[in-house]
Amino acid sequence: MAPGSSSSMASHIVGYPRMGPKRELKFALESFWDGKSSAEDLKKVSADLRASIWKQMSDVGIKYIPSNTFAYYDQVLDTTAMLGAVPPRYGWSGGEIGFDVYFSMARGNASVPAMEMTKWFDTNYHYIVPELGPEVNFSYSSHKAVEEYKEAKALGVDTVPILVGPVSYLLLSKPAKGVEKSFPLLSLLPKILAVYKEVISELKAAGASWIQFDEPVLVKDLESHQLQAFTEAYAELESTLSGLNVVVETYFADLTPEAYKTLVSLKGVTGFGFDLVRGTNTLDLIKAGFPSGKHLFAGVVDGRNIWANDLAASLALLQGLESIVGKDKLVVSTSCSLLHTAVDLVNETKLDDEIKSWLAFAAQKVVEVNALAKALSGQKDEAFFSANAAALASRKSSPRVNNENVQKLAAGLKGSDHRRATNVSSRLDAQQKKLNLPVLPTTTIGSFPQTVELRRVRREFKANKISEEEYVKAIKEEISKVVKLQEELDIDVLVHGEPERNDMVEYFGEQLSGFAFTVNGWVQSYGSRCVKPPIIYGDVSRPKPMTVFWSSTAQSMTSRPMKGMLTGPVTILNWSFVRNDQPRHETCYQIALAIKDEVEDLEKAGINVIQIDEAALREGLPLRKSEHGFYLKWAVHSFRITNVGVQDTTQIHTHMCYSNFNDIIHSIIDMDADVITIENSRSDEKLLSVFREGVKYGAGIGPGVYDIHSPRIPPTEEIADRIRKMLAVLESNVLWVNPDCGLKTRKYGEVNPALSNMVAAAKQLRQEL
Ligand code: GLN
Ligand code: ZN
């Protein structure tokens, strides 16, 4: 099983999902956090998962198998632990970092909030942002990379240990609290390199022959001093790295010519990895010149999607590359870590064979990579290749994919603008006459805790174990409970709590045509949280209303306004696996038309406040600035299409999750929502200056007043203080008071006191006004 045993078949996997084919890690983590199982139990589940992945790749014949791609929470947090860069508030006093400190950084604990979490590039994965400054005493404090390497080796698998590259690590960090915002994070390079050297030396001593540095930051728009940092970092590591083969991986986008030049000139590096699915420009750069004697890790199998690879096309591409870099220097790889795709198609019992034949999950992608490598070395598996070609042909021509009517309607949108006829201030006046809300109105973002009982009811209904009648009764009872609770808490604009929804995207996708669903196609979002993205394989339409029954049922239970709750088209798109046979914006317009039908039906049913969540709007922003304008234009247009048809008196809310909004504020304003609620509490109020812009256009704004990602209960005074800070920047007549995001992941024991404190804080502030 040693690598190199089949030396001509060079195959490599950039990284692999950690959760396990049936989310084994999630359940182990949550049980450990709940105190229901021991640290040993958690370690055992994790070790078993790692072992089975290593075995699987080695059985397939992969030559370069990754290790340290596993993480208990996040690979960037692992790097923070490795470097001993623990913020002082966690009270760590040195030594090997254990679960206690590690999970406190990730999730907060009873007395200290968590570290900030933010999106990993343009994926739906979130990493824990390192907090750095001149005071940090870096020291080698987690030996996980070496331990995993040894663990695999003991199982007979020689792996390529992966480290987050030093420059990407620093450029993904932020200055710690109290450190000047302008603090040059790259000035810490010499300090962290000292730790990296210790790690590298240990890996070498343990027998590693290859090591992989992930430097995805190289695909961003970088300044020359940032590029220079890469050159300096690897020059500094060169002597430590000698005797080792080193691959520097990039992924998620093209490289600029400058970044490419920097990368391929790095000292001490043996190979370079590229995302060739998204990187067509990179391909041109490679063709124009690749350093001789170096390995090219060609990422041709898409790690961001679930579609079967076009093997014939990939093979042709690889053969072209082979003539540039030489036969023994070309390595077939994935475009990025397979972390961003589903785990294994074999566990899909509900998908029909036709759709299944169009797909490849992580386990199948490993096989594709290997098949391509074998074909390159002259051992093409003809049967495998022709089955693949047949599947691609069936997908192209399938009537399930094509709906002419939808195509026509969506094409009719092109070139035209869609906006509500009146401006937001006059609409808000009209709405206030109808809604009669107090100043600083309180609301929540939509979901309430999803109890074990609730999940059981949904599961049993899905499995036909309980009747529709019983199901409706149970959900109604839940809604009624949530409505009563909110009335007791004295919240102003209520929600029904989303008890009928497993997930904010899947729920809609299940009712739209053109979507397919997996049973185990989970992808990690953050920590133990996974999402199961629908697969958009065909033209999208809405056969019948999706939420009207539940929203009007909820409204009938209260005299307070009940928010209708929808997921917006951009978010449905960005949180799905999207077809790759037409541009994304075309698919988005189709979804927008379906949501528009739903918005209008809700309005007809007497729902006066409708929230259209665009939690993932920013997430779809292309990594390269030059592409932002085009994306934002069609994304914002899609959102406006959904509510262009409503009356002035219907209040449209939107909600967005943790994001950096500074650079897209104009697009957010251009969405023309009446009220926008935004995550704020984990971003240290830095959003407030952004909201000041919002005041100019007069819409309601609800920056989250407490963090729902942590079990911690925010005291009233703390929330009141937050609101006071917001009021220093925002007019009281536009400010809303709400949590950061939905409450589905919390427990009632946390939600009740937190919301009670939130309402108390709002009332206190109303007095102060
Ligand atoms: N309405 C959704 C909820 O409350 C919004 C979730 C989100 O923004 N991620 O669950
Ligand atoms: Zn949110």
Complex-level ipTM: 0.99
SS3 562: strand
The string over 172-202, giving b where at least 16 C-beta atoms fall within 10 Å of a residue's C-beta and e elsewhere, is: bbbbbeebeeebebbebbebbbebbbbbbeb
Residue 379 carries which side chain, given as an amino acid letter? Q
The residue nearest atom 3 of ligand 1, judged by CA position, is 742
> Strands, E, within 616-661: which ranges?
651-656
Residue 600 carries which side chain, given as an amino acid letter? E
Tell me the C-alpha distance between 248 and 234, whole Å: 10
Q: Which helix (H) or strand (E) holds 525?
A: strand 523-526
Phi, psi of 322 (to 5 degrees): -60, -35
Tell me the C-alpha distance between 383 and 388, whole Å: 9
Q: State the distance from the centre of ligand 1 to the C-alpha of 503, rounded, in angstroms.
A: 9
Q: Which residues carry a binding-site annotation for 5-methyltetrahydropteroyltri-L-glutamate?
A: 26, 124, 529-530, 575
Is 587 within 8 Å of 537 (Cβ atoms)?
A: no
Tell me the C-alpha distance between 70 and 52, whole Å: 12
Q: Which residues carry a binding-site annotation?
A: 26, 124, 445-447, 498, 529-530, 575, 613, 655, 657, 666, 670, 679, 741
pLDDT of residue 583: 94
Select from 500, 655, 708 the residue to mutate for testing ligand 1; criterion: most ligand atoms less than 8 Å from CB: 655
State if residue 504 touches ligand 1 by the CB under 6 angstroms criterion. Answer: yes
List the one residue out of 612, 622, 726 whose CA is nearest residue 672. Answer: 612
Q: State the distance from the centre of ligand 1 to the C-alpha of 9, rounded, in angstroms.
A: 46
Q: Which helix (H) or strand (E) holds 537?
A: strand 535-541
pLDDT of residue 2: 42
What number does the ligand 1 atom closest to the CA of 615 have? Answer: 8
What angle is formed at CA 528 by the lines to CA 579 and CA 707, rounded to 5 degrees?
100
Tell me the C-alpha distance between 99 and 104, whole Å: 8
Select from 447, 486, 525, 746 the residue to mutate for testing ligand 1; criterion: most ligand atoms less than 8 Å from CB: 447
- What number of CA atoms fall less than 13 Å from residue 343's CA on the CB side? 22
Phi, psi of 274 (to 5 degrees): -130, 145
Q: State the distance from the centre of ligand 2 to the C-alpha of 708, rounded, in angstroms.
A: 9
pLDDT of residue 1: 39
Q: Which residues carry a binding-site annotation for L-homocysteine?
A: 445-447, 613
The residue nearest atom 9 of ligand 1, judged by CA position, is 615
Residue numbers annotated as active site: 709
Tell how strand 126-128 and strand 117-119 pair up. antiparallel
List the one residue out of 236, 96, 265, 70 whose CA is nearest residue 166. Answer: 236
pLDDT of residue 682: 56
State if residue 501 touches ligand 1 by the CB under 6 angstroms criterion. Answer: no
Q: State the distance from the centre of ligand 2 to the C-alpha of 615, rounded, in angstroms.
A: 5
Tell me the C-alpha distance between 761 and 759, whole Å: 5
Tell me the C-alpha distance between 731 and 454, whole Å: 40
Task: Please report, for residues 46, 47, 197, the alpha-carbon distance to residue 68 in angstroms, rounded to integers and kept in the order given.
Answer: 12, 12, 17
Task: Please report, for residues 90, 745, 760, the alpha-carbon distance to residue 502 in angstroms, rounded to integers and kept in the order given.
Answer: 34, 11, 31
Q: Which ligand is nearest to the CA of 531?
A: 1
pLDDT of residue 9: 79
What number does the ligand 1 atom closest to the CA of 657 have? Answer: 8
pLDDT of residue 665: 87
State if residue 114 touches ligand 1 by the CB under 6 angstroms criterion. Answer: no
pLDDT of residue 3: 45
pLDDT of residue 659: 67
What number does the ligand 1 atom closest to the CA of 446 have? Answer: 4
Residue count (the chain) = 769
> Strands, E, within 636-689: which ranges?
651-656, 675-678
List the one residue out of 712, 529, 709 whose CA is nearest residue 27. Answer: 529
* Residue 706 neighbours by CB under 8 Å, 6+ apart: 681, 714, 718, 719, 722, 739, 740, 754, 758
* Residue 229 neighbours by CB under 8 Å, 6+ apart: 167, 170, 186, 189
The residue nearest atom 4 of ligand 1, judged by CA position, is 742
Q: Which single residue is written with the structure tokens 């302008």?
A: 182
Q: Which ligand is nearest to the CA of 446?
A: 1
Tell me the C-alpha distance between 698 and 701, whole Å: 9
The residue nearest atom 8 of ligand 1, judged by CA position, is 615
Q: What is the mean pLDDT of each run of 10 residues along the chain (769 residues)?
A: 52 98 98 98 98 98 98 98 97 97 96 93 94 97 98 98 98 96 97 98 98 97 97 98 97 96 97 94 96 97 97 97 94 98 96 96 98 97 98 94 93 88 95 97 98 96 96 98 98 98 93 96 96 95 97 98 98 95 95 98 98 92 91 97 97 87 87 93 63 74 91 95 90 94 96 98 96
List the one residue out of 339, 370, 190, 189 whose CA is nearest residue 251. Answer: 339
Q: Which ligand is nearest to the CA of 743?
A: 1
Residue 409 carries which side chain, given as an amino acid letter? L
The residue nearest atom 5 of ligand 1, judged by CA position, is 742
Tell me the C-alpha distance between 454 and 475, whole Å: 8
* Residue 349 neighbours by CB under 8 Å, 6+ apart: 519
Widest distance between CA atoms in the chain = 79
Is 752 within 8 Å of 717 (Cβ atoms)?
A: no
The whole-model pTM stands at 0.90
Q: State the distance from the centre of ligand 1 to the C-alpha of 768, rounded, in angstroms.
A: 31
Select from 117, 498, 595, 677 the residue to mutate for testing ligand 1; criterion: most ligand atoms less than 8 Å from CB: 498
Tell me the C-alpha distance between 547 and 602, whole Å: 8
State if residue 332 touches ligand 1 by the CB under 6 angstroms criterion. Answer: no
pLDDT of residue 695: 63
State if residue 613 touches ligand 1 by the CB under 6 angstroms criterion. Answer: yes
CB count, 10 Å around CB of 518?
25
The radius of gyration computed from the CA coordinates of the chain, to the nearest angstrom, equals 26
Task: Please report, for residues 104, 422, 545, 592, the alpha-carbon distance to residue 645 in angstroms, rounded to integers and kept in the order given.
Answer: 47, 12, 16, 12
pLDDT of residue 5: 42
Residue 348 carries which side chain, given as an amino acid letter? E
* Residue 473 neighbours by CB under 8 Å, 6+ apart: none
State if residue 741 touches ligand 1 by the CB under 6 angstroms criterion. Answer: yes
pLDDT of residue 685: 59
Q: Which residues carry a binding-site annotation for L-methionine?
A: 445-447, 498, 613
Q: State the distance from the centre of ligand 2 to the C-alpha of 658, rounded, in angstroms.
A: 7
Is 390 within 8 Å of 312 (Cβ atoms)?
A: no
State if residue 565 touches ligand 1 by the CB under 6 angstroms criterion. Answer: yes
State if residue 126 touches ligand 1 by the CB under 6 angstroms criterion. Answer: no
Q: State the distance from the centre of ligand 2 to the C-alpha of 77, rounded, in angstroms.
A: 22
Q: State the distance from the centre of ligand 2 to the C-alpha of 292, rounded, in angstroms.
A: 48
List the one residue out of 658, 684, 721 whose CA is nearest residue 181. Answer: 684
Tell me the C-alpha distance between 691 and 642, whole Å: 24
Select from 445, 507, 680, 746 the residue to mutate for testing ligand 1; criterion: most ligand atoms less than 8 Å from CB: 445
- Indicate if the alpha-carbon torsion angle 342, 346, 350, 355 is positive or negative: positive
pLDDT of residue 4: 41
What number does the ligand 1 atom closest to the CA of 565 have? Answer: 1
Q: Which ligand is nearest to the CA of 707?
A: 2
Q: State the distance from the centre of ligand 1 to the C-alpha of 745, rounded, in angstroms.
A: 10
Q: Please classify residue 404 by burial: count the beta carbons closer than 10 Å to its beta carbon, then call 0-12 exposed, 13-18 middle and 19+ buried.
A: exposed
State if residue 531 touches ligand 1 by the CB under 6 angstroms criterion. Answer: no
State if residue 395 touches ligand 1 by the CB under 6 angstroms criterion. Answer: no
Task: Please report, for residues 12, 33, 159, 285, the alpha-carbon distance to residue 257 in angstroms, rounded to integers and kept in the order given.
Answer: 25, 46, 31, 7
End-to-end CA distance of the chain: 72
In this structure, the dihedral spanned by the alpha carbons of residues 59, 65, 67 and 72, taken in order and rounded to 10 degrees, is -60
What number does the ligand 1 atom closest to the CA of 501 have? Answer: 10
Tell me the C-alpha distance between 70 and 339, whole Å: 10
SS3 285: helix
What's 199-234 look like in SS3? Answer: HHHHHHHCCCCEEEEECHHHHCCCCHHHHHHHHHHH
SS3 175: strand
